[in-house]
Structure 1
């Protein structure tokens, strides 16, 4: 297993909120395409919902699919166990009541060769982050004024 870890690319997670539990399914084929192209590897994917009282519950893909035509059945079994109940609860805290979310843990396969080379040279990542598009646009707008 340690050999596999040495070959891995950076691992990220996303929590994507769906207001009013409205999932259109438009983005899911694009995610499948990223997997098929070898750009990312899904390590874990779970769904949660937050009811009007603030209670958070995990959802199974079969509960979401239920004849909806979202195309989620391709993700059935994508749960590796990396995400535990505490992670679902944590994601639920970020949700507004009445909304649901997808929690995705994925490996950036495109960056794996770069990460391997860095590890071989003795380098290690000491910090990472993500800049939300809205913050980037706000910063650019502020520069223009």
Structure 2
């Protein structure tokens, strides 16, 4: 890549259109993979919630109250359901990352290929996520999670 003279935006480089197109394709593939990952994560979480619910229902109150071990099992099941809220945080992070990649792919295409005559430029700023970090909790033991 060869440097280009400084413009109003600052220094830049020439990027062959094919390189930009290949990079954009790679970004779109990653976006697709993230979408698939979110679907797999969601499916697994739904199955886990269903299984935990079935196990919790099978522990009837009279049986649980007569056994301290079963009280501990029931409490562990309730805690596990709360910890499954991790899926919601992961989904938010996947969505955010997908939006960042999409914005980068479209910006790359717009910069490398320009726009057709008479074509409206894409509103690239509207494609980027509003916040730099959608999930502020970095681990399950920190903070609290609201169940909805």
TM-score if structure 2 supplies the norm length? 0.23
TM-score if structure 1 supplies the norm length? 0.23
Relative to its length, the structure with more helix (as a share) is 2
- The structure that has the greater radius of gyration is 2
Greater relative contact order structure (CA < 8 Å, 6+ sep): 1
Relative to its length, the structure with more strand (as a share) is 1
